[in-house]
Chain A
């Protein structure tokens, strides 16, 4: 009876989503975390999304005689989701790029943007272009045209690119002095300057790019129908009205439309163009060079040194974090066994809080949350976050191992007159260590992989470098395999060393 009622309730819940079958759906993908003016949850009704990309999706759906339905997709995985067919079209401030054109069906551009250099107002005269930022940290979003710009500038001008997962913290960290400049498209840059006092955008654009819709590689016919709808909307002013409404219309757009409307090919403009530093007049033209589509194996060869460098970061960070976790874990464990009641309660609280909350959250709090009081460098925050988190787990291993040492060992030490501290150091801890070694090895391998989480606080380690690589060539297959091979090359010897130590003890 209750089962049938539950089944009915489930059906009732499912029914509304299945109901509006009067017109087929246009499933469109975007990332609501990207925020206004692209796609954001409606402040008045968070179950809806609003933004100019939302209205472009409505425009396309209307032209196709369909009902738009939003599909939430993480921005960095939007290409993979398009390839898998998770949605019909992706619209979320997605940049046109050679890699996307090579692997997906890409619409004509519906918006042209400039890449803008943002600096602190006090540095406005000192840092006018990337060439002025040698040896300085410059922030951007990962997997964007701006990141490619910075990667080029790293080789040419010796800047240090710093990637973020979102477009808010690059600007707040610029205010705090953690970075000296930010490169992002003008829409984000204007928003960043509006939200943070003391920042300014340099007038000279660094490059010009375009927003496009992306479809699965086999969907060229659908793409062509969308191109017709977009061109119609450019002619009759509907697209302009949308962009005006979201306050992103500017004089670059009519020039883009003119070029798109006079060229009927699927790709009327170059994917992106890097501005020569001549001045704003050259922007919007395709005079400068475009980024060429990288060939996969070439790219693998080019990225291997970067992956290995990132692997060194992973190893150094993991080893230092583990050392901290072992030292702090040992102190916590002995405090919980030998300490007075208040200390024991405090340490138990620490262990439960750390184990009961996500490491990701702890990293955010350490790096961004504490920034108002103490500005930890990213690597230090990563080291503290990983080390203090794992200390909680290590302490439980050590506590269990210490309590597993036979009571007779401790009694015989007491009859010999050894103090409790001497018993711990000379007898109990060395025996406990043997019991703890296997779980410790396990934790170290886990930490090696958990260290990938620190990419959210701008540390570029192996997994982050891999995802940059994957975004660059538009595929996860080769980068994924290379990354997995490097992780295994680091973790397998570790397990072997641990096994050898244990065997040695058994023989001794």
Chain B
């Protein structure tokens, strides 16, 4: 059974082809790593899957909503970590406010940042901000979670923790696609590694 199916994906930006002929699929509970040097097209593939960049040709079949964790997190600067997490459940999915706030607190606690709920984004460390961003993405209950360069803001010790976290999220049945240039991290957490080179992918696991 596949939950994510990408076929012959082509993306252009400013008249230049960034990604062409990319096809891959992922099943529930699977972690797929897109690995490659910077500029290879990893982020572009994630953005196209998330619907942020238009697709020139090809298809992306994915259940919405899609969870996305950006390299620089992009937590909303004008609200607390807690509100960052409950904002979409309340305003997009019309969950009762009390319930959404409670669920957000649980998510933050499960990711180890329960005590940082009232902090503003600029007061968080890189690792804390990343875990809040994961909580925010999970709060809308996506079946697929996309992560762009998640190890960029982490020191080596924290990378192992992140791999563990992603493994446990996958065990709950979520599909995770991680774009990374960190081969060690990719091997440590992914079930399958796809090499991205010059806008194309190739299975190397």
Q: Is A415 an interface residue (CB 8 A)?
A: yes
Q: Is A265 an interface residue (CB 8 A)?
A: no
Q: Is B82 an interface residue (CB 8 A)?
A: no
A-B contacts, CB under 8 A, total:
55
Q: Which of B67, B72, B91, B93 makes the CB contact (< 8 A) with A408?
A: B72
Interface set, chain A 389-417, CB cutoff 8 A to B = 406, 408-409, 411-417
- Binary interface encoding of chain B residues 117-148 relative to chain A, with 1 for a CB under 8 A from any of its CBs, else 0: 00010000000000000001100100000000
Q: A426–B90 Cα gap in the complex (Å)?
A: 12
Evaluate contact between B91 and A415: CB separation under 8 angstroms.
no
Q: Which residues of A contact B76 (CB under 8 A)?
A: 409, 412-413, 426-427
Q: Is B68 an interface residue (CB 8 A)?
A: yes
- The SS class assigned to the A binding surface is helix
Evaluate contact between A409 and B77: CB separation under 8 angstroms.
yes
- The SS class assigned to the B binding surface is loop
Asked whether A411 and B65 contact (CB < 8 A) given A418-B88, A426-B91, A427-B78, the answer is: no
Q: Which residue of B lies closest to A508 (CB)?
A: B120
Evaluate contact between A411 and B136: CB separation under 8 angstroms.
no
Asked whether A418 and B92 contact (CB < 8 A) given A408-B72, A411-B52, A426-B87, the answer is: yes
Q: Which residues of B contact A422 (CB under 8 A)?
A: 91-92
Asked whether A430 and B78 contact (CB < 8 A) given A416-B136, A418-B88, the answer is: yes
Q: A130–B56 Cα gap in the complex (Å)?
A: 83
Q: Is B62 an interface residue (CB 8 A)?
A: no
Q: Which residues of B contact A434 (CB under 8 A)?
A: 78
Evaluate contact between B74 and A412: CB separation under 8 angstroms.
yes
Q: Which of B70, B77, B88 makes the CB contact (< 8 A) with A411?
A: B70
Q: Is B50 an interface residue (CB 8 A)?
A: yes
Asked whether A417 and B52 contact (CB < 8 A) given A408-B74, A411-B70, A411-B74, the answer is: no
Q: Which residues of B contact A408 (CB under 8 A)?
A: 70, 72, 74
Interface set, chain B 45-93, CB cutoff 8 A to A = 50-52, 64-68, 70, 72, 74-78, 87-88, 91-93
Q: Which residue of A lies closest to B67 (CB)?
A: A415
Most buried by A among B66, B74, B120: B74
Asked whether A416 and B65 contact (CB < 8 A) given A408-B74, A409-B74, A431-B78, the answer is: yes
Q: Which residues of A contact B140 (CB under 8 A)?
A: 416-417
Q: Which residue of B lies closest to A415 (CB)?
A: B68
Q: A408–B92 Cα gap in the complex (Å)?
A: 19
CB distance from B146 to the nearest CB of A (A): 9
**Size band of the interface chain B makes with A:** 20 to 34
Q: Which residue of B lies closest to A429 (CB)?
A: B78
CB distance from A210 to the nearest CB of B (A): 69
Q: A415–B76 Cα gap in the complex (Å)?
A: 13
Q: Which residues of A contact B51 (CB under 8 A)?
A: 414-415
Q: Which of B50, B75, B77 makes the CB contact (< 8 A) with A415?
A: B50
Q: Which residues of B contact A409 (CB under 8 A)?
A: 74, 76-77
Q: Which residues of A contact B75 (CB under 8 A)?
A: 412
Q: Which residues of A contact B87 (CB under 8 A)?
A: 416, 418, 426
Q: Which residue of A lies closest to B120 (CB)?
A: A508
CB distance from B123 to the nearest CB of A (A): 9
Q: Which residue of A lies closest to B50 (CB)?
A: A415
Evaluate contact between B78 and A412: CB separation under 8 angstroms.
no
Q: Which residues of A contact B52 (CB under 8 A)?
A: 411, 414-415
- Binary interface encoding of chain A residues 480-508 relative to chain B, with 1 for a CB under 8 A from any of its CBs, else 0: 00000000000000000000000000001
Q: A414–B74 Cα gap in the complex (Å)?
A: 12
CB distance from A168 to the nearest CB of B (A): 54
A positions within 8 Å CB-CB of B? 406, 408-409, 411-418, 422, 426-427, 430-431, 434, 508
A-B contact pairs, 12 of them (CB 8 A): A406-B74, A408-B70, A409-B77, A411-B74, A415-B51, A415-B68, A415-B137, A416-B87, A418-B92, A426-B87, A426-B91, A427-B78
The 5 closest A-B pairs by CB, nearest first: A412-B74, A416-B88, A408-B74, A417-B92, A415-B68
Contacts A412-B70, A417-B93, A426-B76 known; list 20 others, CB within 8 Å.
Answer: A406-B77, A408-B70, A411-B70, A411-B74, A412-B75, A414-B51, A414-B52, A415-B50, A415-B65, A415-B67, A415-B68, A416-B87, A416-B92, A417-B88, A417-B92, A418-B88, A422-B91, A426-B87, A430-B78, A431-B77
